[in-house]
């Protein structure tokens, strides 16, 4: 029996149900993953008890010698992974990391230029409902009718806007991001280049997507998406002056005590990211989503931009009688978790949409390969072809539950 099981059965039971849900549905949300049990052990460790405001060897509390060691180890491992000079591993999330970057480098109402939310960007890239669109004067670029970033267009917009910072990186974009080209655009208007690689970081460290270094001035990421570590954020740079500003903006600027237990988990995650097996994982992530794209194309579905270079695809239902929301619900009933997503030429509301986003990182972490992704692709098409057939959805849910049970990732819910 675990302590939780003995002391708080109510929470224990909910966590058990969540484990069951994670293992018996097919998790295909592109931003999700299954972290390593060793990462979860570190996150559940005694470091949750420790206050360690400040940075290694520069703390505001006593007793930080081991917090120092684990944070320094996380920083050193992260710098080695990305071949960069400075890193901050304290951001509580990707959004907090981005807030710290802006706070460090901008004044209120400075101009930022980022990718539009409905075109694949993130809320924190200047969306009006986000602090990034409220505290700064935000402008956006998007994708063309084929779903691709038109870099000439970005350059034109930058020339008119004259932003202080250009944000590149996305949450729903299936093609390679040309960081060199973004650098040229930033240079042409004297802007700082900020790369947010929250989605693709795991591919970058494996050499499966070009690195934002040396082009970007500052780089942020999450650690829980393709990196497969604990939930959290990180910021990296090669510029010492920027590094110092970032450190100040995280603490004391925006956060209090760092989550040392999560930083320990980040260090463990970075250890896995540095192993030869990591390259195999990243290659498999890409191979798997390609198989899925090919099956859906063969079955008559439109993939935005015609395919993918990374870990995700966007499927467009612009020419279909059903919406992204309908597809999301039908696939959910069939045991496949995806999310609805706006697509180029969108004519439905953001709550309905005409597309879905599908990713391969989580199922690849569970050990699935091309053969399984082929089966899943056919099942997705079966559901979509007959989208109102709830009996079929139930039947497929049972079949996929059986498939998923061959790929059990965790033996228990608590590590």
The total number of residues shown for the chain amounts to: 415
In the region spanning residues 227 to 246, those forming contacts with ligand PLP, defined by CB under 6 A, are 233
Residue 61's φ and ψ, nearest 5 degrees, are: -130, 155
* Composition of the chain by helix, strand, coil, percent to 5: 50, 15, 40
Least distance CB 29 / ligand PLP (angstroms): 11
Q: Which is nearer to ligand PLP, 104 or 170 (CB)?
A: 170
| Burial class of residue 108 (count of CB atoms within 10 Å of its CB; 0-12, 13-18, 19+) | exposed
Count interface residues toward ligand PLP (CB under 6 A): 15
Number of C-beta neighbours around residue 402 at 10 A: 10
31 binds ligand PLP (CB under 6 A): yes
Instruction: Tell me which of 50, 111, 122, 366 binds ligand PLP, using CB under 6 A.
Output: 122
198 binds ligand PLP (CB under 6 A): yes
Least distance CB 334 / ligand PLP (angstroms): 26
Least distance CB 169 / ligand PLP (angstroms): 5
d(CA 285, CA 277) in angstroms, rounded, equals 12
Q: Which residues in 217-323 belong to E strands, given as ranges?
A: 218-222, 233-237, 302-303, 312-316
d(CA 376, CA 378) in angstroms, rounded, equals 5
Query: Is 196 a catalytic site residue?
Result: yes
93 binds ligand PLP (CB under 6 A): yes
Query: Is 237 a catalytic site residue?
Result: no
Q: Which is nearer to ligand PLP, 120 or 335 (CB)?
A: 120
124 binds ligand PLP (CB under 6 A): yes
Which residue in 343, 356, 345, 352 sits closest to 383, CA to CA? 356
Candidates 13-21, 196-204, 285-293, 330-338: pick the segment binding ligand PLP (CB under 6 A): 196-204
| C-alpha distance from residue 336 to each of 23, 287, 333, 365, 411 (Å) | 11, 19, 7, 16, 22
Answer whether 256's CB lies under 8 Å from 59's CB. no
Instruction: Tell me which of 94, 229, 230, 361 binds ligand PLP, using CB under 6 A.
Output: 94
In the region spanning residues 47 to 66, those forming contacts with ligand PLP, defined by CB under 6 A, are none
Query: Is 231 a catalytic site residue?
Result: yes
Candidates 166-174, 249-257, 303-311, 404-412: pick the segment binding ligand PLP (CB under 6 A): 166-174
341 binds ligand PLP (CB under 6 A): no
199 binds ligand PLP (CB under 6 A): yes
Instruction: Tell me which of 133, 169, 359, 361 binds ligand PLP, using CB under 6 A.
Output: 169
Instruction: Tell me which of 22, 35, 88, 95 binds ligand PLP, using CB under 6 A.
Output: 95
Tokens 């999560």, residue located: 262
35 binds ligand PLP (CB under 6 A): no
Candidates 176-184, 193-201, 207-215, 337-345: pick the segment binding ligand PLP (CB under 6 A): 193-201
Least distance CB 223 / ligand PLP (angstroms): 9
d(CA 213, CA 222) in angstroms, rounded, equals 17
Tokens 């989503």, residue located: 289
Residue 313's φ and ψ, nearest 5 degrees, are: -130, 155
Query: Is 280 a catalytic site residue?
Result: no
What six digits make up the tokens of 152? 């000439």
Answer whether 194's CB lies under 8 Å from 236's CB. no
Residues near ligand PLP, by CB under 6 A: 31, 93-95, 98, 122, 124, 169-171, 196, 198-199, 222, 233
Which active-site residues does the annotation give?
51, 53, 196, 222, 225, 231
């Amino acid at each position: 029996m675990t302590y939780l099981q003995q002391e708080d059965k109510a929470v224990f039971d909910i966590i058990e149900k969540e484990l069951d849900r994670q293992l018996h549905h097919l998790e295909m949300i592109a931003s999700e993953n299954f972290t390593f049990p060793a990462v979860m052990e570190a996150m559940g460790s005694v470091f949750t008890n420790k206050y360690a405001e400040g940075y290694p060897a520069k703390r505001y509390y006593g007793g930080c010698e081991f917090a120092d060691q684990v944070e320094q180890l996380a920083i050193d491992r992260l710098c080695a992974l990305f071949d960069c000079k400075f890193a901050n591993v304290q951001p509580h999330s990707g959004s907090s990391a981005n807030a710290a970057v802006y706070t460090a480098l901008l004044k209120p109402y400075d101009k930022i230029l980022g990718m539009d939310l409905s075109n694949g960007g993130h809320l924190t890239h200047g969306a009006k409902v986000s602090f990034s669109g409220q505290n700064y004067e935000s402008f956006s670029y998007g994708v063309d009718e084929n779903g691709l970033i038109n870099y000439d267009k970005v350059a034109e917009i930058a020339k008119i806007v004259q932003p202080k910072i250009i944000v590149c990186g996305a949450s729903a974009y299936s093609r390679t991001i040309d960081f060199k080209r973004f650098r040229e655009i930033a240079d042409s208007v004297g802007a700082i280049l900020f790369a947010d690689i929250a989605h693709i970081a795991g591919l970058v460290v494996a050499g499966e997507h070009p690195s934002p270094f040396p082009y970007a001035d500052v780089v942020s990421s999450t650690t829980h998406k393709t990196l497969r570590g604990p939930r959290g954020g990180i910021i990296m740079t090669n510029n010492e002056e920027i590094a110092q500003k970032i450190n100040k903006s995280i603490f004391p600027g925006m956060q209090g005590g760092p989550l040392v237990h999560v930083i320990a988990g980040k260090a463990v995650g970075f250890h896995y990211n540095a192993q030869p097996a990591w390259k195999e994982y990243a290659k498999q992530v890409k191979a798997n989503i390609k198989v899925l794209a090919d099956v859906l194309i063969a079955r008559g579905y439109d993939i935005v931009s015609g395919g993918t270079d990374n870990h995700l695809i966007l499927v467009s239902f612009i020419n279909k009688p059903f919406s992204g929301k309908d597809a999301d619900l039908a696939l959910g009933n069939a045991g496949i978790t995806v999310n609805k997503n706006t697509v180029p030429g969108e004519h439905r509301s953001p709550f309905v949409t005409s597309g879905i986003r599908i990713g391969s990182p989580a199922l690849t972490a569970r050990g699935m390969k091309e053969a399984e992704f082929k089966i899943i692709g056919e099942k997705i098409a079966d559901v979509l072809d007959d989208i109102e057939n709830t009996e079929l959805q139930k039947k497929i849910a049972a079949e996929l539950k059986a498939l998923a049970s061959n790929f059990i990732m965790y033996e228990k819910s608590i590590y």
